[in-house]
Structure formats: C-alpha cells, structure tokens
Structure 1
C-alpha cells in the first residue's frame, strides 16, 4: 500500500513531470540517490537520503484541487491561488513506516521537501500532520531559522509562539 504523503510541495509544474529526472538543486543532487527502478510505470520514485528511503509521488492539478476541497488543510494566511497547481508528495519509505514520528526522519523528510521545492519553484507547502498550508518562502525561513537550529518540528495541533505563520511548529 502506498502511504498518503504527509508533505506536499505545491506549485505550477509541467503536466507530466518525470519524477525520476527532476531538476534537483545542486545540494540535493550531491546528497541523494534516486532509485528509478523500484516503481517502473508509476508516477513515483524512491529517494534515498542519509540511508533513509522516501517515496516521492505526483499529484495532478485535479488531485490537488480535490485534496484541498476535502477540508484537511486550513488555508494559508496569504491567498494561495491553488487552481491549476499540482504537487509533489513526499512520504517515508517502507523501512521508516514505524519511525515517521522520530525527529531525525522528519527533518530529512522536510529537508528533502525544501530541496524539491527549490528545484521546481514551489509556491506553497502542505504539512498533513498539522493540517496547515504555508507559503514556500515561510517554510524555507522556518526550516533554516527554527527547525535546523533546534528540536522544533511541525507537529499537529501546536504552533510556535515565535512564528505562527509556518506550518504548525512546536515551540
């Protein structure tokens, strides 16, 4: 079974981007391995980062519109024009299924999301555990200033007293 991705990188993308050949930013390209053989004929690839596997999948604009219409995510403070936007989903791989609550796993997943977002010029990020959508620049700011500097991670139901614009940061 393919897990629902807890992290969605949202933005205007080509109708059918080949995930096996994403234009990875230089830092990502130096730190990851893309397993192109695991999911032939599916719109999904396995990415290996620090010996952890992550599943990277694509949501079409129609799938993304449906996902937003379900009410799973609270809208961002800034107006996000979601019509016509597609997304790339990131989920922990099989070997991380029971470790997805660990900070190390979440930090790698979020860093992978940052790299993918930079590679595809993302406009927003949706973090399913918190039910929040954030502007991509706010996500990057939070990653570099809060999450990288300490134990703060985006978890459901809590928001930072330092910066509540980002996607549910504990503080």
Structure 2
C-alpha cells in the first residue's frame, strides 16, 4: 500500500494498493454497480496498467479535471478509470480498465473528496478478499492487451509503451 501526495495537490492523500489472488471480484463489481458507499474506490484491472507512471498520469489528470470542473464522469474514481483509457466513452473505459468478474489481480485507488476522511487500509482489506502485495505497479500488465486497446500493435519496444500512454493521457 502506498500513500501518494502530488506536489500540486498537497492536501490530497491518495491511497494506492495492489491485490493478487482476488476471490471476490464479481461481488465487488456488483456492489459498485449498486452504488454501495463502502466500495468508494477505483477498482482497476491490473492487466491494463503498464506502470506506476501510467497510473500516476491518470491520477494527476483526474485531480486536474476535478479542480477545473471538467470531469466527464460522475465520481473521481470513475474519472480515474476513464483517464487510464484511450476511449471517449466512459462505459467502454469501465469495461476494459475497471474490475471484471474474472480479475485475479487488481489495483485499488482511493481519492478522498473534499471533507471526506482518509480511509484506513483495514477498511479496504475488509472489502477485498485477496493478498495485498507490494509488487511494482505494472508487473501484471498484459502488454499484448494494452497494445491492442491503445492501437499500438506496431510498437516493438515495451519500454516506450508506458511513455506513449502517459503522454496521451496528459494531452487529452
């Protein structure tokens, strides 16, 4: 688990955790659809995140959009998933980058809204049935899937993949 504070947003502490061997991904997705406030996190399919830079770029874009009141999604967590993707449609982004029933590795991000208390990691551990891990973000990335989603099939160097994707997030 990591707590991230961006220099431009020192008042916002962002919680980032990664889980392996997740057993209740379907239940989590179901509760998200219901709007259960206990599940007020961004649950991300770890196969679609190339690196910590990719994730941080999307987090930064989300905070900028929130500050400028230009968010496309209703919540910051949906906006984060939308910003991870190349899609212009939020539902497409949620389907490809959000949690799916078969996800066994997920990244969970919590961006607190104004006036919200910081969540304890115990709260998150009670929601996710899996093993919290300190592995680097991007370790579970399915490079072929990400290249297909971003239409970068001709790219040979996987090191450039994260840079290209992060750049596209910031230019959007």
TM-score, length of structure 2 as denominator length = 0.31
Could you say which structure has the higher strand fraction?
1
- Compare relative contact order (CA 8 Å, sep 6+) and give the higher one, 1 or 2: 2
Could you say which structure has the higher helix fraction?
2
